[in-house]
Chains A and B, each alone.
Chain A
Amino acid sequence: MSRRLNRDDHVVVGAYTGKIVVGVGVLMAVPFISSLLLREWDTALDFVIGMSACFIVGFGLQVAFRTKRELSWNTGLVVASGSWLLLTVLGAIPHWLSGHMGSFLDAMFDVMSGYTTTGLYLMQDLDHISYGLNMWRHLLTYAGGQGVVVVALTFLFRGAAGAYTVYVGEGKDERLLPNVVQTARAIWLVSLVWLGVGWVALTGVSLWLGQEPGRAVLHGLWIFMGGWSTGGFAPQSFNTVYYHSIVFEIVTIVVFVAGSFNFALHWAVWSGRRDEIRRNIETMSFAITLTATVALATWALGRAGIYPDAVALFRKAFYQLASGHTTTGFGTIYSRAFVTQWGPVGMLAVTIAMAIGASACSTAGGIKGLRIGVITKTFIHEVRTVLSPPSAVVVERYHHVRDTILEGSVVRSVLLITVAYMTMYGLLTILGMVYGYDASQALFEGVSAASNTGLSCGVTAPSMPGVMKFVYLLAMWLGRLEFMSVFALVGYVVAAVRGR
Protein backbone atom coordinates (compact mmCIF):
# COMPACT_ATOMS: atom_id res chain seq x y z
CA MET A 1 0.00 0.00 0.00
CA SER A 2 1.60 3.23 -1.11
CA ARG A 3 -0.77 5.53 0.73
CA ARG A 4 -2.42 5.68 4.13
CA LEU A 5 -5.61 3.64 4.29
CA ASN A 6 -8.85 5.37 5.01
CA ARG A 7 -12.23 4.10 6.10
CA ASP A 8 -13.52 4.02 2.52
CA ASP A 9 -10.90 1.41 1.59
CA HIS A 10 -12.08 -0.91 4.36
CA VAL A 11 -15.71 -0.35 3.34
CA VAL A 12 -14.99 -1.25 -0.31
CA VAL A 13 -13.00 -4.36 0.70
CA GLY A 14 -15.78 -5.48 3.05
CA ALA A 15 -18.58 -4.88 0.54
CA TYR A 16 -16.95 -6.73 -2.35
CA THR A 17 -15.78 -9.59 -0.14
CA GLY A 18 -19.39 -9.93 1.00
CA LYS A 19 -20.57 -10.28 -2.62
CA ILE A 20 -18.08 -13.03 -3.33
CA VAL A 21 -19.01 -14.91 -0.13
CA VAL A 22 -22.68 -14.79 -1.14
CA GLY A 23 -21.65 -16.20 -4.53
CA VAL A 24 -20.11 -19.24 -2.85
CA GLY A 25 -23.21 -19.66 -0.70
CA VAL A 26 -25.25 -19.83 -3.92
CA LEU A 27 -22.76 -22.38 -5.29
CA MET A 28 -23.47 -24.62 -2.27
CA ALA A 29 -27.04 -24.94 -3.52
CA VAL A 30 -25.81 -27.45 -6.12
CA PRO A 31 -24.55 -30.10 -3.64
CA PHE A 32 -27.49 -29.26 -1.38
CA ILE A 33 -29.99 -30.08 -4.15
CA SER A 34 -27.96 -33.17 -5.10
CA SER A 35 -28.18 -34.37 -1.51
CA LEU A 36 -31.94 -33.84 -1.45
CA LEU A 37 -32.43 -35.69 -4.74
CA LEU A 38 -30.31 -38.59 -3.51
CA ARG A 39 -32.01 -38.59 -0.11
CA GLU A 40 -28.86 -37.83 1.85
CA TRP A 41 -30.57 -35.88 4.60
CA ASP A 42 -27.56 -35.51 6.92
CA THR A 43 -25.44 -34.18 4.08
CA ALA A 44 -28.21 -31.81 3.02
CA LEU A 45 -28.29 -30.43 6.56
CA ASP A 46 -24.51 -29.90 6.45
CA PHE A 47 -24.99 -27.75 3.36
CA VAL A 48 -27.89 -25.82 4.90
CA ILE A 49 -25.53 -24.89 7.72
CA GLY A 50 -22.75 -24.04 5.26
CA MET A 51 -25.03 -21.90 3.09
CA SER A 52 -26.44 -20.15 6.14
CA ALA A 53 -22.94 -19.27 7.30
CA CYS A 54 -22.07 -17.88 3.85
CA PHE A 55 -25.26 -15.80 3.62
CA ILE A 56 -24.94 -14.46 7.18
CA VAL A 57 -21.32 -13.45 6.61
CA GLY A 58 -21.82 -12.29 3.01
CA PHE A 59 -24.99 -10.25 3.48
CA GLY A 60 -23.71 -9.10 6.89
CA LEU A 61 -20.60 -7.66 5.25
CA GLN A 62 -22.70 -5.97 2.57
CA VAL A 63 -25.01 -4.42 5.15
CA ALA A 64 -22.14 -3.33 7.38
CA PHE A 65 -20.12 -1.93 4.47
CA ARG A 66 -22.57 -0.19 2.16
CA THR A 67 -20.86 1.72 -0.63
CA LYS A 68 -21.19 2.66 -4.27
CA ARG A 69 -17.45 3.16 -4.66
CA GLU A 70 -15.54 0.99 -7.12
CA LEU A 71 -12.50 -1.05 -6.28
CA SER A 72 -9.12 0.60 -6.67
CA TRP A 73 -6.12 -1.41 -7.85
CA ASN A 74 -4.93 -2.07 -4.28
CA THR A 75 -8.29 -2.91 -2.76
CA GLY A 76 -9.11 -5.17 -5.72
CA LEU A 77 -6.01 -7.26 -5.10
CA VAL A 78 -6.81 -7.39 -1.38
CA VAL A 79 -10.36 -8.59 -2.09
CA ALA A 80 -9.04 -11.27 -4.47
CA SER A 81 -6.62 -12.78 -1.97
CA GLY A 82 -8.55 -12.10 1.24
CA SER A 83 -11.79 -13.56 -0.05
CA TRP A 84 -10.03 -16.84 -0.89
CA LEU A 85 -9.02 -17.21 2.77
CA LEU A 86 -12.51 -16.40 4.04
CA LEU A 87 -14.09 -18.74 1.47
CA THR A 88 -11.77 -21.51 2.60
CA VAL A 89 -13.00 -21.20 6.19
CA LEU A 90 -16.68 -21.08 5.14
CA GLY A 91 -16.35 -23.75 2.44
CA ALA A 92 -14.80 -26.12 4.98
CA ILE A 93 -17.97 -26.26 7.08
CA PRO A 94 -19.68 -29.10 5.10
CA HIS A 95 -16.38 -30.99 5.00
CA TRP A 96 -15.94 -30.67 8.76
CA LEU A 97 -19.55 -31.61 9.52
CA SER A 98 -19.29 -34.74 7.34
CA GLY A 99 -17.16 -36.49 9.96
CA HIS A 100 -14.57 -37.49 7.36
CA MET A 101 -11.99 -34.92 8.43
CA GLY A 102 -9.51 -35.33 11.26
CA SER A 103 -9.65 -31.63 12.18
CA PHE A 104 -10.96 -28.30 10.91
CA LEU A 105 -7.44 -27.60 9.58
CA ASP A 106 -7.72 -30.78 7.48
CA ALA A 107 -11.09 -29.58 6.19
CA MET A 108 -9.62 -26.19 5.27
CA PHE A 109 -6.68 -27.95 3.59
CA ASP A 110 -9.03 -29.93 1.35
CA VAL A 111 -11.14 -26.89 0.50
CA MET A 112 -8.11 -24.74 -0.34
CA SER A 113 -6.82 -27.67 -2.38
CA GLY A 114 -10.14 -27.65 -4.25
CA TYR A 115 -10.34 -23.89 -4.88
CA THR A 116 -6.73 -23.79 -6.03
CA THR A 117 -7.23 -26.90 -8.24
CA THR A 118 -4.43 -28.68 -6.43
CA GLY A 119 -5.97 -32.06 -5.62
CA LEU A 120 -4.05 -33.07 -2.51
CA TYR A 121 -6.46 -34.22 0.17
CA LEU A 122 -6.61 -35.27 3.82
CA MET A 123 -10.16 -36.60 3.74
CA GLN A 124 -10.49 -40.00 5.37
CA ASP A 125 -12.40 -42.96 3.94
CA LEU A 126 -12.91 -41.14 0.64
CA ASP A 127 -14.54 -44.17 -0.99
CA HIS A 128 -17.50 -43.93 1.36
CA ILE A 129 -18.32 -40.23 1.47
CA SER A 130 -21.78 -39.03 0.43
CA TYR A 131 -22.65 -38.09 -3.16
CA GLY A 132 -23.44 -34.56 -1.99
CA LEU A 133 -20.01 -34.06 -0.46
CA ASN A 134 -18.38 -35.52 -3.56
CA MET A 135 -20.39 -33.06 -5.63
CA TRP A 136 -19.12 -30.20 -3.45
CA ARG A 137 -15.49 -31.35 -3.69
CA HIS A 138 -15.62 -31.46 -7.47
CA LEU A 139 -17.69 -28.31 -7.86
CA LEU A 140 -15.16 -26.48 -5.69
CA THR A 141 -12.35 -27.43 -8.01
CA TYR A 142 -14.39 -26.73 -11.17
CA ALA A 143 -15.39 -23.26 -9.95
CA GLY A 144 -11.90 -22.67 -8.55
CA GLY A 145 -10.38 -23.47 -11.93
CA GLN A 146 -12.38 -20.76 -13.60
CA GLY A 147 -11.58 -18.57 -10.61
CA VAL A 148 -13.93 -18.11 -7.69
CA VAL A 149 -13.92 -14.39 -8.34
CA VAL A 150 -14.73 -15.01 -11.99
CA VAL A 151 -17.85 -16.78 -10.71
CA ALA A 152 -18.81 -13.70 -8.77
CA LEU A 153 -17.82 -11.40 -11.64
CA THR A 154 -20.02 -13.37 -13.98
CA PHE A 155 -23.11 -13.57 -11.88
CA LEU A 156 -23.00 -10.81 -9.28
CA PHE A 157 -20.89 -7.80 -10.22
CA ARG A 158 -22.50 -7.06 -13.59
CA GLY A 159 -19.84 -4.89 -15.14
CA ALA A 160 -18.36 -3.16 -12.13
CA ALA A 161 -15.46 -1.15 -13.44
CA GLY A 162 -13.10 -2.00 -10.60
CA ALA A 163 -13.75 -5.72 -10.95
CA TYR A 164 -10.82 -6.02 -13.37
CA THR A 165 -8.35 -5.72 -10.50
CA VAL A 166 -10.01 -8.62 -8.68
CA TYR A 167 -9.83 -10.63 -11.85
CA VAL A 168 -6.10 -9.90 -12.21
CA GLY A 169 -5.58 -10.60 -8.52
CA GLU A 170 -6.87 -14.12 -9.12
CA GLY A 171 -4.08 -14.78 -11.59
CA LYS A 172 -6.02 -14.20 -14.79
CA ASP A 173 -4.65 -11.14 -16.47
CA GLU A 174 -5.83 -11.46 -20.05
CA ARG A 175 -8.94 -9.92 -21.50
CA LEU A 176 -10.50 -12.11 -24.15
CA LEU A 177 -13.07 -9.43 -24.87
CA PRO A 178 -13.04 -5.68 -24.18
CA ASN A 179 -15.19 -5.92 -21.07
CA VAL A 180 -13.92 -7.95 -18.13
CA VAL A 181 -17.38 -9.31 -17.34
CA GLN A 182 -17.75 -10.43 -20.96
CA THR A 183 -14.34 -12.06 -20.56
CA ALA A 184 -15.53 -13.86 -17.43
CA ARG A 185 -18.61 -15.05 -19.28
CA ALA A 186 -16.49 -16.18 -22.24
CA ILE A 187 -14.39 -18.25 -19.83
CA TRP A 188 -17.57 -19.84 -18.52
CA LEU A 189 -18.88 -20.43 -22.02
CA VAL A 190 -15.72 -22.32 -22.98
CA SER A 191 -15.86 -24.29 -19.73
CA LEU A 192 -19.54 -25.16 -20.08
CA VAL A 193 -19.29 -26.28 -23.71
CA TRP A 194 -16.33 -28.47 -22.78
CA LEU A 195 -18.34 -29.68 -19.77
CA GLY A 196 -21.11 -30.88 -22.09
CA VAL A 197 -18.73 -32.69 -24.44
CA GLY A 198 -16.44 -34.11 -21.74
CA TRP A 199 -19.25 -35.20 -19.44
CA VAL A 200 -20.99 -37.11 -22.24
CA ALA A 201 -17.73 -38.75 -23.34
CA LEU A 202 -16.70 -39.82 -19.82
CA THR A 203 -20.21 -41.02 -18.96
CA GLY A 204 -20.24 -43.08 -22.16
CA VAL A 205 -16.88 -44.66 -21.33
CA SER A 206 -18.00 -45.36 -17.74
CA LEU A 207 -21.14 -47.09 -19.04
CA TRP A 208 -19.04 -49.08 -21.50
CA LEU A 209 -16.81 -50.11 -18.59
CA GLY A 210 -19.86 -51.53 -16.82
CA GLN A 211 -20.81 -48.92 -14.27
CA GLU A 212 -24.51 -48.65 -13.51
CA PRO A 213 -26.11 -45.60 -15.24
CA GLY A 214 -26.54 -43.29 -12.23
CA ARG A 215 -23.01 -43.93 -11.04
CA ALA A 216 -21.61 -43.53 -14.56
CA VAL A 217 -23.27 -40.12 -14.94
CA LEU A 218 -21.89 -38.91 -11.59
CA HIS A 219 -18.40 -40.31 -12.18
CA GLY A 220 -18.39 -38.82 -15.67
CA LEU A 221 -19.29 -35.40 -14.26
CA TRP A 222 -16.83 -35.50 -11.39
CA ILE A 223 -13.91 -36.81 -13.39
CA PHE A 224 -14.59 -34.13 -16.00
CA MET A 225 -14.61 -31.45 -13.30
CA GLY A 226 -11.43 -32.82 -11.76
CA GLY A 227 -9.72 -33.05 -15.15
CA TRP A 228 -10.86 -29.86 -16.84
CA SER A 229 -10.06 -27.77 -13.77
CA THR A 230 -6.67 -29.53 -13.56
CA GLY A 231 -7.68 -30.21 -9.97
CA GLY A 232 -7.19 -33.93 -9.93
CA PHE A 233 -9.91 -34.77 -7.43
CA ALA A 234 -11.60 -38.12 -8.15
CA PRO A 235 -14.45 -39.89 -6.39
CA GLN A 236 -12.33 -42.92 -5.52
CA SER A 237 -9.19 -43.04 -3.39
CA PHE A 238 -7.40 -44.94 -6.17
CA ASN A 239 -7.95 -41.90 -8.40
CA THR A 240 -7.97 -42.87 -12.11
CA VAL A 241 -6.27 -46.22 -11.41
CA TYR A 242 -9.76 -47.23 -10.32
CA TYR A 243 -11.02 -47.36 -13.93
CA HIS A 244 -8.20 -49.52 -15.38
CA SER A 245 -9.04 -48.46 -18.91
CA ILE A 246 -6.82 -47.04 -21.64
CA VAL A 247 -9.87 -45.43 -23.31
CA PHE A 248 -10.75 -43.68 -20.06
CA GLU A 249 -7.14 -42.52 -19.75
CA ILE A 250 -7.11 -41.11 -23.30
CA VAL A 251 -10.33 -39.18 -22.75
CA THR A 252 -9.07 -37.76 -19.45
CA ILE A 253 -5.77 -36.74 -21.07
CA VAL A 254 -7.68 -34.78 -23.74
CA VAL A 255 -9.82 -33.14 -21.04
CA PHE A 256 -7.03 -32.10 -18.71
CA VAL A 257 -4.64 -30.96 -21.44
CA ALA A 258 -7.44 -28.84 -22.93
CA GLY A 259 -8.22 -27.57 -19.43
CA SER A 260 -4.63 -26.46 -19.06
CA PHE A 261 -4.79 -24.22 -22.15
CA ASN A 262 -4.90 -20.46 -21.80
CA PHE A 263 -8.49 -19.25 -22.10
CA ALA A 264 -7.21 -16.67 -24.60
CA LEU A 265 -5.94 -19.57 -26.72
CA HIS A 266 -9.30 -21.34 -26.49
CA TRP A 267 -11.01 -18.16 -27.53
CA ALA A 268 -8.67 -17.61 -30.48
CA VAL A 269 -9.12 -21.19 -31.72
CA TRP A 270 -12.87 -21.07 -31.21
CA SER A 271 -13.02 -17.78 -33.08
CA GLY A 272 -11.57 -19.41 -36.17
CA ARG A 273 -7.85 -18.74 -35.65
CA ARG A 274 -6.98 -22.45 -35.51
CA ASP A 275 -3.35 -21.87 -36.42
CA GLU A 276 -2.92 -20.25 -33.01
CA ILE A 277 -2.58 -23.61 -31.29
CA ARG A 278 0.57 -24.36 -33.31
CA ARG A 279 2.11 -20.88 -33.17
CA ASN A 280 1.42 -19.87 -29.56
CA ILE A 281 4.54 -19.67 -27.41
CA GLU A 282 2.75 -21.47 -24.56
CA THR A 283 1.71 -24.53 -26.56
CA MET A 284 5.17 -24.68 -28.16
CA SER A 285 6.83 -24.43 -24.75
CA PHE A 286 4.46 -27.04 -23.29
CA ALA A 287 5.09 -29.48 -26.15
CA ILE A 288 8.87 -29.15 -25.85
CA THR A 289 9.10 -29.44 -22.05
CA LEU A 290 6.53 -32.26 -21.92
CA THR A 291 8.45 -34.21 -24.56
CA ALA A 292 11.75 -33.62 -22.74
CA THR A 293 10.39 -34.74 -19.36
CA VAL A 294 8.66 -37.77 -20.91
CA ALA A 295 12.00 -38.70 -22.50
CA LEU A 296 13.78 -38.39 -19.14
CA ALA A 297 11.17 -40.47 -17.31
CA THR A 298 10.98 -43.17 -19.99
CA TRP A 299 14.78 -43.48 -19.94
CA ALA A 300 14.74 -43.90 -16.14
CA LEU A 301 11.83 -46.35 -16.21
CA GLY A 302 13.28 -48.25 -19.17
CA ARG A 303 16.56 -48.74 -17.31
CA ALA A 304 14.71 -49.84 -14.20
CA GLY A 305 12.82 -52.41 -16.27
CA ILE A 306 9.55 -51.89 -14.44
CA TYR A 307 7.33 -52.06 -17.49
CA PRO A 308 7.48 -54.97 -19.94
CA ASP A 309 7.10 -53.17 -23.28
CA ALA A 310 6.95 -49.75 -24.96
CA VAL A 311 3.13 -49.60 -24.84
CA ALA A 312 3.00 -50.21 -21.07
CA LEU A 313 5.86 -47.78 -20.51
CA PHE A 314 4.25 -45.09 -22.67
CA ARG A 315 0.88 -45.56 -21.00
CA LYS A 316 2.22 -45.05 -17.48
CA ALA A 317 4.98 -42.52 -18.18
CA PHE A 318 3.01 -40.26 -20.50
CA TYR A 319 -0.07 -40.18 -18.27
CA GLN A 320 1.81 -39.22 -15.10
CA LEU A 321 3.95 -36.67 -16.96
CA ALA A 322 1.02 -35.08 -18.80
CA SER A 323 -0.96 -35.03 -15.57
CA GLY A 324 1.98 -33.47 -13.70
CA HIS A 325 2.81 -30.95 -16.43
CA THR A 326 -0.77 -29.75 -16.70
CA THR A 327 -0.79 -29.63 -12.87
CA THR A 328 -3.82 -31.93 -12.83
CA GLY A 329 -2.78 -34.63 -10.41
CA PHE A 330 -4.68 -37.59 -11.87
CA GLY A 331 -2.59 -40.71 -11.46
CA THR A 332 -2.67 -44.21 -12.89
CA ILE A 333 -0.06 -45.48 -10.45
CA TYR A 334 -0.26 -45.68 -6.67
CA SER A 335 1.32 -42.78 -4.78
CA ARG A 336 4.13 -44.80 -3.22
CA ALA A 337 5.04 -46.25 -6.64
CA PHE A 338 6.80 -42.95 -7.37
CA VAL A 339 9.22 -43.79 -4.57
CA THR A 340 9.37 -47.57 -4.81
CA GLN A 341 9.29 -47.98 -8.62
CA TRP A 342 10.02 -44.71 -10.40
CA GLY A 343 13.05 -43.79 -8.28
CA PRO A 344 14.82 -40.42 -8.01
CA VAL A 345 15.24 -39.74 -11.75
CA GLY A 346 11.63 -40.63 -12.58
CA MET A 347 10.44 -38.48 -9.69
CA LEU A 348 12.72 -35.65 -10.82
CA ALA A 349 11.16 -35.72 -14.30
CA VAL A 350 7.66 -35.42 -12.81
CA THR A 351 8.85 -32.72 -10.39
CA ILE A 352 10.29 -30.63 -13.24
CA ALA A 353 7.03 -31.00 -15.18
CA MET A 354 4.97 -29.97 -12.14
CA ALA A 355 7.26 -27.03 -11.38
CA ILE A 356 6.89 -25.64 -14.90
CA GLY A 357 3.13 -26.18 -15.05
CA ALA A 358 0.91 -25.26 -17.96
CA SER A 359 -0.57 -22.06 -19.36
CA ALA A 360 -1.17 -18.66 -17.84
CA CYS A 361 -4.81 -17.56 -17.58
CA SER A 362 -5.93 -21.15 -17.42
CA THR A 363 -7.05 -23.52 -14.69
CA ALA A 364 -3.46 -24.71 -14.22
CA GLY A 365 -0.72 -23.68 -11.80
CA GLY A 366 3.09 -23.66 -11.72
CA ILE A 367 5.56 -21.22 -13.24
CA LYS A 368 3.66 -21.44 -16.56
CA GLY A 369 4.75 -22.15 -20.11
CA LEU A 370 4.48 -18.49 -21.11
CA ARG A 371 7.17 -17.55 -18.60
CA ILE A 372 9.41 -20.44 -19.65
CA GLY A 373 8.96 -19.33 -23.25
CA VAL A 374 9.77 -15.70 -22.45
CA ILE A 375 12.88 -16.70 -20.47
CA THR A 376 14.03 -18.85 -23.40
CA LYS A 377 13.44 -15.96 -25.79
CA THR A 378 15.43 -13.70 -23.46
CA PHE A 379 18.39 -16.09 -23.60
CA ILE A 380 18.16 -16.15 -27.40
CA HIS A 381 17.96 -12.36 -27.43
CA GLU A 382 21.06 -12.06 -25.24
CA VAL A 383 23.03 -14.48 -27.45
CA ARG A 384 21.99 -12.63 -30.60
CA THR A 385 22.96 -9.31 -28.97
CA VAL A 386 26.43 -10.61 -28.07
CA LEU A 387 26.97 -11.93 -31.60
CA SER A 388 25.75 -8.72 -33.29
CA PRO A 389 27.76 -5.55 -33.97
CA PRO A 390 27.67 -3.06 -31.06
CA SER A 391 25.54 -0.62 -33.02
CA ALA A 392 22.92 -3.23 -33.97
CA VAL A 393 19.47 -3.09 -32.42
CA VAL A 394 18.36 -6.68 -31.77
CA VAL A 395 14.63 -7.18 -31.49
CA GLU A 396 13.11 -10.45 -30.28
CA ARG A 397 9.46 -11.33 -30.77
CA TYR A 398 7.17 -13.99 -29.45
CA HIS A 399 3.69 -15.02 -30.47
CA HIS A 400 0.96 -15.24 -27.88
CA VAL A 401 -2.41 -14.53 -29.47
CA ARG A 402 -0.59 -11.73 -31.31
CA ASP A 403 3.04 -10.98 -32.12
CA THR A 404 4.69 -9.14 -29.24
CA ILE A 405 8.10 -7.54 -28.94
CA LEU A 406 10.09 -8.81 -25.98
CA GLU A 407 10.50 -5.86 -23.63
CA GLY A 408 12.55 -5.38 -20.48
CA SER A 409 9.49 -4.81 -18.29
CA VAL A 410 7.98 -8.14 -19.36
CA VAL A 411 11.26 -9.98 -18.73
CA ARG A 412 11.59 -8.37 -15.28
CA SER A 413 8.05 -9.37 -14.31
CA VAL A 414 8.52 -12.92 -15.63
CA LEU A 415 11.81 -13.40 -13.78
CA LEU A 416 10.36 -11.97 -10.55
CA ILE A 417 7.47 -14.44 -10.47
CA THR A 418 9.74 -17.32 -11.54
CA VAL A 419 12.18 -16.56 -8.73
CA ALA A 420 9.27 -16.38 -6.28
CA TYR A 421 8.07 -19.84 -7.36
CA MET A 422 11.58 -21.32 -7.19
CA THR A 423 12.08 -19.84 -3.72
CA MET A 424 8.79 -21.30 -2.54
CA TYR A 425 9.67 -24.71 -3.99
CA GLY A 426 13.00 -24.54 -2.15
CA LEU A 427 11.50 -23.51 1.18
CA LEU A 428 8.88 -26.26 1.05
CA THR A 429 11.58 -28.82 0.30
CA ILE A 430 13.58 -27.64 3.32
CA LEU A 431 10.45 -27.84 5.48
CA GLY A 432 9.79 -31.42 4.39
CA MET A 433 13.39 -32.38 5.11
CA VAL A 434 13.21 -30.75 8.53
CA TYR A 435 10.28 -33.04 9.31
CA GLY A 436 12.24 -36.12 8.31
CA TYR A 437 11.30 -36.79 4.68
CA ASP A 438 14.13 -37.45 2.25
CA ALA A 439 15.02 -34.72 -0.24
CA SER A 440 13.40 -36.22 -3.33
CA GLN A 441 10.08 -36.81 -1.55
CA ALA A 442 10.12 -33.39 0.15
CA LEU A 443 10.86 -31.72 -3.21
CA PHE A 444 8.22 -33.72 -5.06
CA GLU A 445 5.46 -33.04 -2.55
CA GLY A 446 6.41 -29.40 -1.98
CA VAL A 447 6.43 -28.63 -5.70
CA SER A 448 3.17 -30.53 -6.12
CA ALA A 449 1.48 -28.34 -3.49
CA ALA A 450 2.95 -25.02 -4.61
CA SER A 451 2.34 -25.65 -8.31
CA ASN A 452 -1.24 -26.74 -7.52
CA THR A 453 -0.69 -30.16 -9.07
CA GLY A 454 -1.78 -32.69 -6.44
CA LEU A 455 0.30 -35.72 -7.38
CA SER A 456 1.53 -37.26 -4.17
CA CYS A 457 4.34 -39.62 -3.34
CA GLY A 458 2.69 -40.39 -0.01
CA VAL A 459 3.83 -37.45 2.13
CA THR A 460 0.41 -35.76 2.25
CA ALA A 461 -1.68 -37.76 4.70
CA PRO A 462 -3.85 -37.07 7.75
CA SER A 463 -0.86 -38.05 9.90
CA MET A 464 1.32 -35.33 8.35
CA PRO A 465 2.59 -32.75 10.88
CA GLY A 466 0.15 -29.87 11.43
CA VAL A 467 2.78 -27.28 10.52
CA MET A 468 3.28 -28.92 7.12
CA LYS A 469 -0.47 -28.99 6.52
CA PHE A 470 -0.71 -25.29 7.32
CA VAL A 471 2.31 -24.32 5.21
CA TYR A 472 1.13 -26.43 2.25
CA LEU A 473 -2.26 -24.71 2.54
CA LEU A 474 -0.56 -21.32 2.31
CA ALA A 475 1.65 -22.54 -0.55
CA MET A 476 -1.40 -23.63 -2.56
CA TRP A 477 -2.94 -20.20 -2.00
CA LEU A 478 0.24 -18.32 -2.92
CA GLY A 479 0.89 -20.49 -5.96
CA ARG A 480 -2.62 -20.13 -7.34
CA LEU A 481 -2.79 -16.37 -6.91
CA GLU A 482 0.79 -15.91 -8.17
CA PHE A 483 2.00 -13.96 -5.13
CA MET A 484 1.18 -10.35 -5.99
CA SER A 485 -2.35 -10.17 -4.60
CA VAL A 486 -1.21 -12.02 -1.47
CA PHE A 487 1.59 -9.51 -0.98
CA ALA A 488 -0.98 -6.75 -1.46
CA LEU A 489 -3.10 -8.31 1.30
CA VAL A 490 -0.10 -8.46 3.63
CA GLY A 491 0.65 -4.82 2.85
CA TYR A 492 -2.99 -3.92 3.51
CA VAL A 493 -2.98 -5.63 6.90
CA VAL A 494 0.34 -4.02 7.86
CA ALA A 495 -0.88 -0.59 6.76
CA ALA A 496 -4.17 -1.09 8.65
CA VAL A 497 -2.29 -1.97 11.84
CA ARG A 498 0.09 0.97 11.46
CA GLY A 499 -2.74 3.37 10.72
CA ARG A 500 -4.36 2.83 14.10
Chain B
Amino acid sequence: MAEQRRPIPYLTPRGRWSQYFAGIAVETLYVFALCAAGFVIAVIVMWTLG
Protein backbone atom coordinates (compact mmCIF):
# COMPACT_ATOMS: atom_id res chain seq x y z
CA MET B 1 0.00 0.00 0.00
CA ALA B 2 2.94 2.32 0.64
CA GLU B 3 3.75 2.16 -3.04
CA GLN B 4 0.21 3.22 -3.89
CA ARG B 5 0.56 6.44 -1.93
CA ARG B 6 3.66 7.63 -3.78
CA PRO B 7 3.00 10.34 -6.37
CA ILE B 8 2.43 8.91 -9.82
CA PRO B 9 5.42 9.94 -11.98
CA TYR B 10 3.47 11.25 -14.96
CA LEU B 11 1.36 13.49 -12.79
CA THR B 12 4.36 15.29 -11.35
CA PRO B 13 5.14 18.65 -13.04
CA ARG B 14 8.70 19.42 -14.24
CA GLY B 15 7.83 20.50 -17.75
CA ARG B 16 5.83 17.43 -18.71
CA TRP B 17 3.03 19.49 -20.24
CA SER B 18 5.33 20.73 -22.98
CA GLN B 19 6.14 17.10 -23.77
CA TYR B 20 2.46 16.25 -24.01
CA PHE B 21 1.82 19.08 -26.47
CA ALA B 22 4.93 18.13 -28.43
CA GLY B 23 3.52 14.60 -28.59
CA ILE B 24 0.22 15.90 -29.93
CA ALA B 25 2.12 17.93 -32.54
CA VAL B 26 4.05 14.84 -33.68
CA GLU B 27 0.82 12.83 -33.93
CA THR B 28 -0.83 15.63 -35.93
CA LEU B 29 2.12 15.74 -38.33
CA TYR B 30 1.74 11.99 -38.91
CA VAL B 31 -1.92 12.53 -39.85
CA PHE B 32 -0.98 15.34 -42.25
CA ALA B 33 1.59 13.03 -43.87
CA LEU B 34 -1.16 10.45 -44.41
CA CYS B 35 -3.41 13.16 -45.90
CA ALA B 36 -0.62 14.24 -48.25
CA ALA B 37 -0.17 10.64 -49.43
CA GLY B 38 -3.93 10.40 -50.03
CA PHE B 39 -3.93 13.61 -52.03
CA VAL B 40 -1.02 12.47 -54.21
CA ILE B 41 -2.93 9.26 -54.92
CA ALA B 42 -6.05 11.22 -55.91
CA VAL B 43 -4.03 13.41 -58.28
CA ILE B 44 -2.30 10.41 -59.86
CA VAL B 45 -5.59 8.52 -60.32
CA MET B 46 -7.39 11.48 -61.86
CA TRP B 47 -4.41 12.21 -64.13
CA THR B 48 -4.20 8.54 -65.18
CA LEU B 49 -7.90 8.36 -65.95
CA GLY B 50 -7.69 11.63 -67.85
* Residues of A that sit less than 8 Å from B by CB: 158-159, 177, 179, 182, 185-186, 189, 193-194, 197, 250, 253-254, 257-258, 261, 266, 269-272, 274, 277-278, 283, 287, 290-291, 294-295, 298-299, 302-303, 309-311, 313-314, 317-318, 321-322
Contact = CB atoms under 8 A, between A and B. Distances in A.
Interface string B1-44: 00110001111000000011111101110111011011101110
Contacts of B39: 310, 314, 318
Q: Tell me whether chain A's interface is mostly helix, strand or loop, or mixed.
A: helix
A318 B31 contact: no
Contacts of A271: 19
A213 to B, nearest CB: 25
B5 to A, nearest CB: 10
A317 B10 contact: no
Query: Which 3 A-B pairs have CB atoms at the shortest separation, nearest pair first?
Result: A314-B42, A270-B23, A318-B38
B31 A186 contact: no
B23 A269 contact: yes
Contact of B8 (A182, A278, A287): A182
Nearest to A261: B27
Given A258-B28, A266-B27, A310 B43 contact: yes
A258 B31 contact: yes
Nearest to B47: A310
Nearest to A301: B45
Interface of B: 3-4, 8-11, 19-24, 26-28, 30-32, 34-35, 37-39, 41-43, 45-49
B22 A291 contact: no
Q: Tell me whether chain B's interface is mostly helix, strand or loop, or mixed.
A: helix
B39 to A, nearest CB: 5
Nearest to B50: A302
B10 A189 contact: yes
A321 B45 CA distance: 16
B4 A158 contact: yes
Given A189-B10, A291-B37, A294-B41, A302 B26 contact: no
Contacts of B37: 287, 291, 294
Contact of A270 (B19, B35, B38, B41): B19
A296 to B, nearest CB: 10
24 contacts: A158-B4, A177-B8, A179-B3, A193-B20, A197-B24, A250-B35, A257-B27, A257-B34, A258-B28, A270-B19, A270-B23, A278-B30, A287-B34, A294-B38, A299-B49, A302-B45, A302-B49, A310-B43, A313-B46, A314-B38, A314-B39, A321-B38, A322-B34, A322-B38
